Amino acid sequence: MNPKKYLIIGLGNAEQKYVGTRHNIGFEIVSALAKKLEAPFTSERYAYKAEAKYKGRTLILLMPTTYMNLSGNAVRYWMEKEEVEAQNILIVSDDIDLPIGVLRLRPKGGGGSHNGINHIIEILQHTHFPRLRFGIGKNYPQGLQVEYVLGRFFPEEKELVSAAIEKAVEICLSFCTAGIQRTMNTHN
């Protein structure tokens, strides 16, 4: 295992119709990180993959091409292939239980109502992996959660979301260099 190698995995759905939706914010953050590091994506097994060096670390950025509710397959495959331990992966996902643009970094925890996180827990058989949750809010009428999550941000939310994506990129980089504890102390 290489202690200086990290997997940053943004959750989303790879089909074109999901681009820009709330549920795909993990993809957007990992894409923004790849752009900052000037790391192009290639199509690989189970994921779009980009690789970059940053302050002596190797960062492997992934956007799983499995469906969201099968994300664990991609996570396990790439952890094994790249020989990365659970504490050196960061799962980036949306969270309806946080207000829009609020970011929460945690070293472990349950999956709540998030099918992607729950599948990762099921496949890895533990909850001890770091995750960065991006708040998408709950601004939807009862019974319309799926439509809301698979919908796009409202125009009045765009500025807040863009700023939060930039902050999320900084959190990802800090996680790889300063570690999770210092990054949580600085950014949560």
The tens digit of pLDDT for each residue in 131-147 reads 999 999 998 888 899 99
DSSP structural state of residue 68: G
Q: How far is CA 34 from CA 37, 59, 104, 183, 185, in A?
A: 5, 10, 21, 20, 25
Prediction pTM value: 0.96
Supply the pLDDT for residue 160: 97
% the chain with pLDDT above 70: 100
Mean pLDDT confidence for 97-110: 96
Distance, in Å, from the CA atom of 50 to the CA atom of 44, rounded to the nearest integer, reads 10
β-strand 57-64 against 5-10: which pairing, if any? parallel
Which residues are paired to 137 by β-bridges?
Answer: none
pLDDT band, very low/low/confident/very high, at 188 (cuts 50, 70, 90): confident
The tens digit of pLDDT for each residue in 4-29 reads 999 999 999 999 999 999 999 999 99
Distance, in Å, from the CA atom of 152 to the CA atom of 123, rounded to the nearest integer, reads 29
Structural domains in the chain, CATH included, are 5-187 (3.40.50.1470)
Q: Which residues are catalytic?
A: 23
